[in-house]
Amino acid sequence: MKSEIRNPKSEGNPKSEIRSPSVIGPDRSDSSWCQLPLTRPLSAFGFRICFGLRTSDFGLSALAIACLLLTLLPAAAEVIYETTTPYHHIRVVEAYGERQLCFDDSTQSRINLADPLKGHFEYSEIFQMAMLWNPVATNVLIIGLGGGSAQRSFEHYWTNVTVESVEIDPVVEKVATNYFRFIEGPRQQVHISDGRMFLRRGQSKYGVILVDAYVQGRYGSAIPYHLATKEFFQLAAQRLGTNGVLAYNVIGTTDGWQADIVGSVYRTMKEVFPQVSVFTCVSSRNVVLVGSTSPVKRDYRSLQYTANALRLAGRLKHPNFLMRLGTFREGPPRNAANSPLLTDDFAPVDGLLSSGGQGETRSGPGPRSNRPAR
Contacts of 15 (CB under 8 A, 6+ apart): none
Q: What would the pLDDT profile of 197-233 be if each residue is shown by its tens digit? A: 999 999 999 999 999 998 876 656 778 989 999 999 9
- In terms of Cα–Cα distance, which of 136, 132, 19, 26 is closest to 73? 26
How much of the chain exceeds pLDDT 90, in percent? Answer: 65
- Enter the pTM of the model: 0.80
Q: What would the pLDDT profile of 82-99 be if each residue is shown by its tens digit? A: 999 999 899 999 998 999
Per-residue pLDDT at 349 exceeds 80: no
Confidence (pLDDT) at 34: 75
DSSP 13: -
pLDDT class for 39, splitting at 50, 70, 90? very low
Q: Which domains, from first to last, does the chain contain?
A: 4-111 (no CATH), 122-352 (3.40.50.150)
Per-residue pLDDT at 151 exceeds 60: yes
Q: Around Cβ 204, how many Cβ atoms within 10 Å?
A: 11
DSSP 343: B
Q: Around Cβ 243, how many Cβ atoms within 10 Å?
A: 15
